[in-house]
Amino acid sequence: MYHSAPRGAPARASRTATQAWVRLLPFMLAPALAHAADPATSMVLPAITVTASGGSRPATDPNSPASTESVTREQFQNWNVVNTEDTLKYLPNLAVRKRFIGDLNSTIAVRGTNNIQSARGLVYADGLLLSNLLGNGYSFPPSWSMVFPDDIERVDVAYGPFSALYPGNSLGATVLITTRMPDEFEAHADVKAFTQHFSLFGVDRSFNGSEQSASIGDKVGKLSYLLGVNHLENTSQPMQFATLAQSGTPANATDTPVTGAHFYDNQTNVPTAVLGVNGGGIQHTIQDQFKLKLQYDFTPTLQAGATLGYWHQRYSSETSTFLRDADGNPVYSGNVNIGGYHYAIPASALAPSRGESENWLYGLSLKTRRATGWNGEALASYYSVGNSVARTANAGGPGNGPGLATFGDGTGWKTLDLKATYTPARPAPGLAAHWLTLGYHFDTYFVNNTTFGTLQWKEGQGSSLANAFAGRTRTQAFYAQDAWKFLPRWKFVYGLRYEDWHAYDGSQALGAVRLPYASVAQQHVSPKASLSFEATDDLTLRASVGRAYRFPTAGELFQGQINGSSIINNNPDLQAENGLSKELTAEWAHWNGLFRLSLFQDDVKNTIFSQTDTTVIPNVTNFQNIDKVRSRGAELSYQGQDVGVQGLDVMANVAYTQSRIRANSQNPATVGKYFYRVPLWRANLVGTYHIGERASVTAGVRYSGRQYNTLTNDDTNPNVFGGTSTYTVADAKFTYKVNRYSEVSVGVDNLFDQRYFVYHPYPGRTLYAEARLRM
């Protein structure tokens, strides 16, 4: 069975926004008012329900304006799932940059959006926004840990910005997580253990971790509750190595002779010396979660909800040097002699790091649930980052010497969404009908990061200000969308979204000098349209087009990007990304499942990306607008049950994407090149065979093709540390239900222990063991 979730803002709108909404509203409502009395059948826009069981026909809801892929609890519980993002691992043309279990930087990539364009993807859990739109990069992943995998009912991915219900951050995709609420008393407990053996350069050892979770829930009269806790602890494989280009300079007499260095040709085929595991290296992470969900039914049609989420994470990065002097002592820095050649190792090359943060999510909702007619929904959320600190030593080696401490307390976001929907009653044959959605959205993001020099990097509070960044953004949006069934087999879904965006209170401080930035504002209207035709009872054709504007984040405008000890300048003059997306889709119900073939093209002007402006002297590296990037491709997917034999469920997909830079006035050498980290091919195949009622066996394969780690495409040796690999990875899992209350499973990811990279190494062969108890 496949499902797609219903989709899911506080301040008075500005006069400009209100006037624009008033001007747009008559055009959106005129067709609907003309047929307001006409009934029709379907679910509330834009829900999708697809069922495949035995010989039944999968039937997608024609109210959907774009391609949607889904995975249910029944499917992903047969996969190796530890973190919430694991539920996406086999979906079409989508990849998660998950470098290890418990990775704090797990971002998604989809179609022509790469895995460091985190602001081009939206993630919601029961309508609450989990996307971290404070910045755009691997350091701003969705807050996956606010959801327990065991509480997920289904996950739906809507491709492209074709729905007016979502902002321009949907340029890539929108992930909609639906969690469950109990109908009766239940209690769950889960224990997982996992281990991998990893070897690369001078590291050859096992890395282990575990996860424990428990939940309890019930429905008592009109009140439902679900309370859960989770604890995760894991040690990763090495993430980062300290390297220097192989030297051709003869050693000096004063250089310290050392042994232990390793050599390889890097991603651009430059001979390179590997000195050790540096501060981004072997990460030990501890994460604790708490989640409380309440739901109260005032009447059969009026429901209120509340969510409280807490996530606390601590990490430390273990470093080690491969270098030893003549007496066997470790060497972390200085002038050294390696094989007769001179190397100058910076003090910070092998510096360790550590950090922690507390994160809170608060959510309130109130909605009506009538089968037909008008329904309303109000949803408010507040995400707060507190007690946040990241620490880095100035030099490698043991001890608690000087370093840097970055504090991010007071960072977070608030949202409010107000929505009204109209669902007509069952129509008479041949009559037209409309499904309406009207809404208002508000969000505000605020960032406040301060970095101090400290005499004791492990726990010092700071002795001197190094730098500080602060800023806010605010967006208000009005939208309207109508699904108009104007003929028995024809549907037209069209909508408009008006957005009023402001960035303000931006500042940057270096030492005692504080530089404020002027406020900026932009307003845009984004039209959407989708026409679908049921060619037969089993075949639906759809054409969709949508304009979307992705506004700059506070981090891109005011903070820039921090990579270790280097700062890439910010850019307060960034323009919004302007995307025009088009899609042609055919969906065919056959072989106990659903086939989908989609052709898509995204033309994005003013793509925001960190690059070097080579047209000025000296060159400037910061977030800039790339004039135009075009991505086009095709996706073929299939999901089915009892495929070929009873008990075999299959998910298979293949995608081709060609993403190229069409114009780039600030770095002309990149024109015509493939865009950053968008593979030409992606493919997935996973099958689960159910052996009676108690056991199941799952086997899966994930493939990602050639992609580039630079805008100039000069990384000609991608399958090494520092490159971005082509890879084929096989997974497997066996699950056995001991009785109605307990279940055990064993599994493996990366069965053949392929060494592959996303600059950092991905995990080696990882073994899992799990035991579950249910009451």
Percent of the chain at pLDDT > 70 equals 90
Q: For residue 416, give the 3-state DSSP assignment.
A: strand
Q: Which amino acid is it at 245?
A: A
Compute the half-sphere exposure of residue 626: CA atoms within 13 Å on the CB side of its CA. 27
At 686 the pLDDT is 98
Residue 509 · residue 554 · CB < 8 Å: no
Q: What's the whole-number mean pLDDT along residues 287-296?
A: 97
Query: Tokens in use for 649?
Result: 């469920």
At 17 the pLDDT is 36
Residue 431 · residue 39 · CB < 8 Å: yes
Residue 146 · residue 129 · CB < 8 Å: no
At 558 the pLDDT is 87
| Model pLDDT for residues 400-431, shown as the tens digit of each residue | 999 999 999 889 999 999 999 999 988 667 67
Question: What domains are defined for the chain?
Answer: 2-193+416-774 (2.40.170.20)
At 508 the pLDDT is 86
pLDDT band of residue 602 (cuts 50, 70, 90) is very high
Closest to 469 measured CA to CA, from 522, 399, 407, 534: 407
* Per-residue pLDDT at 601 exceeds 70: yes
C-alpha distances out from residue 709 to 116, 275, 490, 677, 680, Å: 11, 23, 44, 6, 13
Q: Which amino acid is it at 509?
A: A
pLDDT band of residue 30 (cuts 50, 70, 90) is very low
DSSP 314-353: EEEEEEEE--B-TTS-B--SEEEEETTEEEEE-TTTT--E
At 710 the pLDDT is 95
Calculate the dihedral angle through the C-alpha atoms of 227, 233, 234, 235, rounding to the nearest 10 degrees.
Answer: 150
Closest to 556 measured CA to CA, from 613, 625, 602: 625
Residue 766 · residue 730 · CB < 8 Å: no
Closest to 363 measured CA to CA, from 152, 120, 157, 146: 146
* Per-residue pLDDT at 20 exceeds 80: no
CA–CA dist 224, 217 (Å, integer): 7
C-alpha distances out from residue 611 to 526, 617, 709, Å: 28, 15, 12
* Per-residue pLDDT at 504 exceeds 90: yes
* Per-residue pLDDT at 560 exceeds 90: no
Residue 578 · residue 549 · CB < 8 Å: yes
CA–CA dist 109, 703 (Å, integer): 14
| Model pLDDT for residues 53-64, shown as the tens digit of each residue | 333 333 345 588
* Per-residue pLDDT at 196 exceeds 70: yes
Closest to 4 measured CA to CA, from 162, 129, 153: 153
Q: What's the whole-number mean pLDDT along residues 576-589?
A: 97
At 756 the pLDDT is 97
Query: What residues contact 299, with CB distance under 8 A and at least 6 apart?
Result: none
DSSP state of 371: S
Cis upstream peptide for 618 (omega within 30°)? yes
CA–CA dist 91, 682 (Å, integer): 10
- Beta-bridge mates of residue 260: none
| Model pLDDT for residues 672-722, shown as the tens digit of each residue | 999 999 999 999 999 999 999 999 999 999 999 999 999 999 999 999 999
Task: Compute the radius of gyration of the chain from its Cα atoms.
Answer: 27
Q: What's the whole-number mean pLDDT along residues 469-474?
A: 94
pLDDT band of residue 734 (cuts 50, 70, 90) is very high
Place of tokens 């081709």: 656
Q: What's the whole-number mean pLDDT along residues 128-140?
A: 94
* Per-residue pLDDT at 198 exceeds 90: yes
The residue count for the chain: 775
| Model pLDDT for residues 432-446, shown as the tens digit of each residue | 899 999 999 999 999
Q: What's the whole-number mean pLDDT along residues 142-167?
A: 95
Q: Is the dihedral of CA 272, 273, 275, 276 positive or negative?
A: positive
* Per-residue pLDDT at 52 exceeds 50: no
At 62 the pLDDT is 57
Of 314-318, 560-564, 674-678, the range with the lowest mean pLDDT is 560-564
At 286 the pLDDT is 97
Residue 567 · residue 560 · CB < 8 Å: yes
CA–CA dist 707, 678 (Å, integer): 6
At 397 the pLDDT is 87
Q: What is the separation, in whole angstroms, between the first and last Cα of the chain?
A: 24
| Model pLDDT for residues 339-364, shown as the tens digit of each residue | 999 999 999 999 999 999 999 999 99
* Per-residue pLDDT at 561 exceeds 70: no
